[in-house]
Every structure is written in structure tokens, then in C-alpha cells.
Chains A and B, each alone.
Chain A
């Protein structure tokens, strides 16, 4: 793992534009700075309404910033102009959102292949890679099923590998496992870690769940109450590979949990 910062957020600020004669909103994010190294699994913990999704939307360029900048691989990418936004920053930033956002008229396989298809990169090799990912998350046999025929957990898996399959250098994840039951969630976390071990992508994973932040991350950032900034940073001392199903028994978990919990207001 190289120590180079792949993505850097510098003094980021966000307030929503005035609408219908009202004042602009108060700052929801202010003076927020952090960086993520290549191949790092960074988790960001914060309470609901702390601006976590807004932060990821700005990084993914589906929303504008009001102050500060984001530097990707040495070049500044933020923009204040909503018309100049480039969602996904030319396929360099993948985004797994809270909702699975699968296209309901496409089968599982066609949803997974969607990005490759629109990018014109669908060939024997990428197709084989997609099929490998489908098997790896246990979706084999469901390739021809439509999203409404899949369970919530299966849809999450399909949404996850739909982004992994085209291999963006940075992947943002916005509480992707929030809406599933506890058992399924643990399994999805295990699947994610397995997939991450295969490719060692740079991941920024946002969650309100401290346990999840510890189980998955190399490093956890804690967001303050709004306006959001980084309140604390914790290196997760747990060795890899981790057994997420047994995370509580791993030495160092309890101490890390206590430290982070103290910082989450």
C-alpha cells in the first residue's frame, strides 16, 4: 500500500442555496478536511443528519460545494457551478448509495453489466470478471431475475458489485447496508471485505454504526454535530483478515469502540 494521498478534502464547506426568497441554509458542513490514501479503507462515523450523505454527494460531484476544494490525484476537482458538475468524475469515483438504485427493467446480470455497457468496455474478459463477482457474493443462479424478484440483501449485493465491476479508483459507500437485517448486514460486510481484499480499492465508507466502522475500516473519522467537521480520527488496530461475525472477540475491539463512542456526540 503506497502512502500517497489519492483524494484530499480541504476546508470543505456546504450550505444549500436560497430558495423562494428564504435565506441560504446554515452551514451543514464547515471547514471539513481529511485525506484518503490509495488502497485505504476509510470509514466515517456520524449521527443521522450530520451531513454524511451531503459530503459524499460533493465528492461524487452530484452536488456542489460552497467552500473549500477536493483534490483528486493532485488536481482540484470541486466546482461551485452545478452545470459544470461531472457526476462520478469521469468514472474515477464509484458511488454505492443507500438505496440500491437498480434499474427495475434490467435483470441482475444486466444491472451488473450496466456501467461496462455504457462505457463500451463489455468484452469476454470484463464479462468473466462480472460473473466471478456474481458468484463471489452468492448471486449465481439469479442472473436472469429482475430486481423486484430479489431479496433486499441480494439487491444490495447486486448494487455493490455493479460498482466494483468497472473498477473505479475510489469507491464511496453511503450506509449501503443500513436497510437490511442484522444477520444479512454482517454477511454483506464479510462479502465486502472479501471483495476488497481481492482488489484493494480505495473506499470511503460512511455509517452511523460504530461497530461497522471498526469492523471494516483501516481508519475511522468521527464527524461532529452540524456544521460537520472532523471531530476525531482513530486508527483501527484490528489485524486483517478480520472475521466480522466475531468482531467483538477480536482483541482491541472493545477499547477502540469505547474511544470512538466517546467522540460521537
Chain B
């Protein structure tokens, strides 16, 4: 089944052991410094259950998810299209390159206050921040995919009579899909992170808001519950990406990595 990673039982069991170790270390740490500073795993889990039960967590998480999704869309779509439009204009790519590299390197999270100043404390400023983070990551990933295109495949397609548009659609685009996926795989956790950070700074909803109010009220249990929720959102989107990738890239030869075989 393509949506279930094939992992051996032994691996699952070992992961369980690692999880128990982490939780034990957390529990011990919290006992040492006191639950006032560091909430315990048990308290976090029960708070998580309560917040799920009363709908609070779902409400905040879906708001954060909405920001991340909208920002990923608004940043990701132009980032995918631009390298294709620029494919036949290497000079333009070269002119843009230092600016794109600068945009990629700039700490976008530092722009969060600026975006809030410009777009307000509502959803717009969060989407803008997420989009600015996602855009550069996906742009460079797509560009590398378009550049890695096999010239021989292009030549074959031209000889077979493909027009420039057919070439883009049947050869360049499918060839770049793995690189585009790699870009989004990196960008999506950053997107959720950026949404949370923007909420931390100024908002009245979202997981970042939950973290912020938790800290303000010296309620570390709420902070951990919110962070746990954000982590689960990232894991969920990663799982969704894996599923989509398995479906779209089933033509690729299977790659056996040490991490996947579990041996």
C-alpha cells in the first residue's frame, strides 16, 4: 500500500523504546526543576486531551494550518512557475540570481514585525510571512530541477516533433517534479513554523497565540500542548506530502536507503 511506509516490526519496537526514553528524561527533568518551569509529559498529555475535547486546540490548530496552507500556496505557486518561465532566458536567471540568493539567505522571520505593521495582526501578515519563507526554498529547488533536465531527452522529444509547449509539458515539467517535491518537503515545516512565529508576535488566534498566552500566564503545560499540536500538524502535512509523492512519482525506481530499510 503506497500510503503506508513498509517498516519492519523491529523498527517500530525500537522507536517505542526511544519514545519511552525521551518521555522518561522529560519526566525526570520536570521533577527536578519543578512543573512550574517545565511541565510533565503526563500533564501535557492530559491538557492536550482537554483542549482537544473542548475544541480549543482544533480551532487554533486549524487557524495556523490555514495560514500555513495559504502562505505555501501563495509563495509556492510563483516559485514553481518562475523557473519554467525563465527556462528559455538564462540571462534573466543570472541577473536575478544574487537577489534570489539574498532573499533565500535573509532571515525572513525578522520581517514578521514589519509584515504585521503592513498587513495588520490578522491572517494577512501571517500568510505574507509564510509565503516569503516558502517562495525562496521552492524557487531554488524548482530551478535546480529545471536545470538538471536531461538534454538528450529534450533532443529526443524535439526530433519526435514536440513543440516548445509540449516540451515543457511532457519533458521539462515531469522531469522537475522530484525536485519540486524536495523543495516543498523542506518548505512545509518552515511554513508551519513561520505561521506560529508570526502568531507569537501578534495575534488573537492560532497555536502561536496559545503558546504566547501560556507563557504570559506561567502555564507551561499549555505551551507544551500547543507545541505538541504544532508538531503533529507538521507530521500530518509531511505524511500528506509522502502520500502525494508516492502517487505522482511511482515511475521512479525504488531507492533503498539505510533509513528506510531499518536494517
Contact = CB atoms under 8 A, between A and B. Distances in A.
Contact of A105 (B159, B160, B162, B251): B251
B157 interface: yes
A101 interface: yes
A93 B253 contact: no
Interface string A34-55: 0000000000000000000000
B159 A87 contact: yes
B23 interface: no
Contacts of A114: 157, 160, 170
B261 interface: no
B159 A60 contact: yes
A104 B156 contact: no
What class of interface size applies to chain A in its complex with B?
20 to 34
Interface string A91-110: 10111010101011110000
A103 B159 contact: no
A182 to B, nearest CB: 26
A115 interface: yes
Interface in B153-184: 153, 155-163, 166, 170-171, 174-175, 177
B107 to A, nearest CB: 37
A166 B160 CA distance: 8
B10 interface: no
Interface residues of B, number: 22
Interface in A148-199: 148, 162-163, 166
A37 to B, nearest CB: 23
A87 B155 contact: yes
Contacts, number: 61
B156 A118 contact: no
A99 B155 CA distance: 12
Contacts of A162: 160
B58 to A, nearest CB: 39
A146 interface: yes
B159 A88 contact: yes
Given A104-B251, A104-B252, A118-B170, A88 B152 contact: no
Contacts of B155: 62, 87, 101
Contacts of B252: 104, 148
A148 to B, nearest CB: 4
Nearest to B178: A105
Interface string A2-14: 0000000000000
A118 B159 contact: no
B125 to A, nearest CB: 39
Contacts of A123: none
Task: Tell which of A97, A103, A104, A118 has the most Cβ of chain B within 10 Å.
Answer: A118
**What 7 pairs between A and B have smallest CB-CB spacing?**
A88-B159, A115-B160, A87-B158, A148-B253, A118-B162, A105-B251, A101-B156
28 contacts: A62-B155, A87-B159, A88-B160, A90-B161, A91-B160, A91-B161, A97-B152, A101-B150, A103-B157, A103-B170, A103-B171, A104-B252, A105-B175, A105-B177, A105-B251, A114-B157, A114-B160, A114-B170, A115-B161, A118-B157, A118-B162, A118-B163, A118-B166, A119-B160, A146-B250, A148-B251, A163-B160, A166-B160
